[in-house]
Structure 1
Amino acid sequence: MIGRIKGTLEEKNPPQLLVDVNGVGYEIEAPMTTIYQVGDVGKAVLLYTHLTVREDAHLLYGFISKEDRTLFKELIKVNGVGPKMALAILSSLDADQFVGCIHAEDASSLVKLPGIGKKTAERLIIEMKDRLKDWSGVSTALPLEAAAGLEPEINANADLEAESALIALGYKPTEASKLVNAVKGQANTSEELIRLALKSLSRK
């Protein structure tokens, strides 16, 4: 099992990262809460990982903190919740926010996430509540205000990249387009557009 990856960030294509470790490039699927924090391409990066082995692929998932990885592992144990849905959950809510929804039995917030209907939300609350009763994780999400002050370089393809990332996370193309269009012009990079789009869901 690959439990940790430490190397150089070569590419950032949400929700996927490419990390070079001594000349070997590892493709790593990551939630947006991790992608917001890994830093710029060319910088050193450390990710806590989880390897899923399927008949047709070996998939590596990476997280900025052990707490996020722990929550991911707990999520994929829930019936009907696979890795893709778990990534979507952790992209839309940081770990502490999700745990807060579970403890508060806030199904209305969970059903806003892609692929989660009322029954799945109720199942998450029922199955996760006992597992997370002693949760003591620390939120790892970078505050929106802090990110806004970074003044990122303008990316002409940011809108399309943001839509593609949301679709990869499980949103339907029409939903992804609607979310991005709602925040279009408010940011210069795909990462920031995704952040604003996902943040807008929590306000509805």
Structure 2
Amino acid sequence: MIGRIAGVIVEKQPPYVVVDVQGVGYEIQAPMTTFYVLPEVGAQTVLHTHFAISDTAHQLFGFAHKSDRSLFRTLIKVSGVGPKMALGILSGMEAKVIARCVAEENVGALVKVPGVGKKTAERLIIELRDKLGGIGTDTLPLAALEQASGSAKLARAARDDAESALIALGYKPTEATKAIAAAVKVNADAPSQELIRLALKAMIPA
């Protein structure tokens, strides 16, 4: 069992990240909540991993936090939820938000995650309510957690829009990604138009 990977990031293409460990490149699938906190290509990183073997594939999944991996392992035990859907759920919500939604039986919040319908949400609540342990036991109310998660989604959408705009302007995807990353370093909460301006400034110095 591969439980932990520590090495240099050589490629990031959601949902895959490739980590070089002493010359061996491990292709790892990760949720977007992990991608948001990953360092840039060329930097060292540590991922908590889950190795899955099936009749058709051997897959390695990676997570920034042990709690995310623990929740992933719990999700894939739910009837009708496979690794792909579990990654989608963790990409759409942070672990604490998911745990709080289950605790409060908030079906409406869970169905906002792409791919999760009402029946799946209800099944998640029934099968997970006694299995999430200490995840999400902080004192923040669900509204506050959802607000934080929503802010992260808005920031992600701004970055995606800005990157798409640069590509539409004729820049290569790799150039656009690098430029947006530089812009985010200047102002991580900037709207897409400001990110575009900062990115262009980084690529075309005055």
On whether the aligned pair clears a TM of 0.5, the verdict is: yes
2:158 counterpart of 1:135: no
Identity %: 49
Q: Which has the larger radius of gyration?
A: 2
SS in structure 2 of the partner of residue 122 of structure 1: helix
What pairs up with 1:42-191 in 2 under 5 angstroms? 42-135=42-135, 144=152, 155=163, 156-157=166-167
SS in structure 2 of the partner of residue 131 of structure 1: coil
In structure 1, runs of 5+ residues without a counterpart are 162-182, 189-204
AA aligned to 2:94 is D
Query: Structure 2 vs 1, CA of residues 119 and 68 (structure 1 numbering), >3 Å: closer, same or farther?
Result: same
The residue that corresponds to 1:29 in the other structure is 29
Q: Higher relative CO (CA 8 A, sep ≥ 6), structure 1 or 2? A: 1
2:13 counterpart of 1:13: yes
- TM-align CA RMSD: 3.1
Q: CA deviation at 1:134?
A: 3.9
Aligned pair count? 161
The runs of 4+ residues in structure 1 deviating greater than 6 Å are none
In structure 2, runs of 5+ residues without a counterpart are 139-144, 174-190, 197-206
Q: TM-score, normalised by structure 1?
A: 0.70
Q: CA deviation at 1:131?
A: 0.6
SS in structure 2 of the partner of residue 79 of structure 1: coil
CA–CA separation in structure 2 for the residues paired with 1:73 and 1:137: 19
Q: CA deviation at 1:132?
A: 1.8
AA aligned to 2:69 is R
CA–CA separation in structure 2 for the residues paired with 1:5 and 1:144: 26
AA aligned to 1:23 is G
AA aligned to 1:30 is A
Contact 1:67–1:137 at 8 Å: present in 2 too? no
SS in structure 2 of the partner of residue 6 of structure 1: strand
CA–CA separation in structure 2 for the residues paired with 1:186 and 1:83: 36
Contact 1:31–1:87 at 8 Å: present in 2 too? yes
Q: TM-score, normalised by structure 2?
A: 0.69
